[in-house]
Amino acid sequence: MNLTVIDHPLTRHYLTILRDKRTDAQAFRAAARGLTYTLVHEATLRVPYDAFDVETPLEMAKGHRIRNVVAVPVLRAGLGMLDAVLEMIPDVKVGFAGVARNEETALPQEYYAKLPDLSDAYVIICEPMLATGGSLSWAVDKVKSSGAKTITAICVVACPEGVDRMRQDHPDVQVIAASLDRGLNDRAYILPGLGDMGDRLFGTT
């Protein structure tokens, strides 16, 4: 597994807003979208594209078109990243992977999955919090079972425990994060982290 931590002023700016416990749901959603733009920029550096000739008002030029990208947000928190992906990537398709966290065991519990054929797709999984790694590992299993071979995960915050889990389970997956935080507390929440991403996105704290 290849981990890339984005070190960009805009990334740091938006991450600070997300960390701040005073940030309300509306501002939190806007900051999540802004931060995701910076992650998507990195995630698409290796995206496949077709080259062709395009006619400008003056002459012919070389053009490029991105092809066959599928975004898979991990429900529900991954929905906070989806709008930025839809805005930035032309003709992106979307699959969904629904998993809930068992608060007693911190293990992922599947409740929904709807994926297109991914056999020739460049897949971007949106999983904001790479904590224990269970949810992301499960989502990768799902997209691989639908044929995916090239997979990148974008995360807002990661921690060493989740990174180690992904290295063990899916060493072929690239992970892009805005921060590699210190670790997990006794409830498997990331420290310093930003709390429960889904609850803060949708005002259900």
Question: Phi/psi class of residue 135: alpha, beta or left (left: φ > 0; alpha: ψ in -120 to 50)?
Answer: alpha
Q: Which amino acid is at 85?
A: V
pTM of this structure: 0.92
pLDDT of residue 106: 60
Q: Does residue 60 sit within a domain?
A: no
* Catalytic-labelled residue, pool 11, 29, 38, 101: 101
Domain extent for 41: 2-50+65-202
Domain for residue 58, yes or no? no
Q: Quick check: is 138 in a domain?
A: yes
Q: Looking at the domain assignment, is residue 169 inside a domain?
A: yes
Contact 93, 71 (CB under 8 A): yes
Based on the residue annotation, tell me whether 181 is a catalytic residue of this protein. Answer: no
Q: What is the tens place of the pLDDT at every residue in 6-51?
A: 999 999 999 999 999 999 999 999 999 999 999 999 999 999 899 9
Q: Which of 20, 65, 105, 182 is catalytic?
A: 105
Say whether 44 is catalytic: no
**Residue 188 falls inside a structural domain:** yes
pLDDT digits (tens, 9 = 90+) for 149-159: 999 999 999 99
> Where residue 16 sits, what CATH number does that domain have?
3.40.50.2020
Query: 56 in a domain, yes or no?
Result: no
Report, in angstroms and rounded to the nearest whole number, the Rg of the chain calculated over CA atoms.
Answer: 17
- The number of folded domains in the chain is 1
Which tens digits make up the pLDDT trace of 93-136?
999 998 776 666 666 777 888 898 898 999 999 999 999 999 99
- Residues 171-183 have pLDDT tens digits of 999 999 999 999 9
Q: How far apart are CA 7 and CA 86, in angstroms?
A: 23
Phi/psi of residue 203, nearest 5 degrees: 70, 35
22 in a structural domain: yes
* 203 contacts 150 by C-beta, under 8 angstroms: no
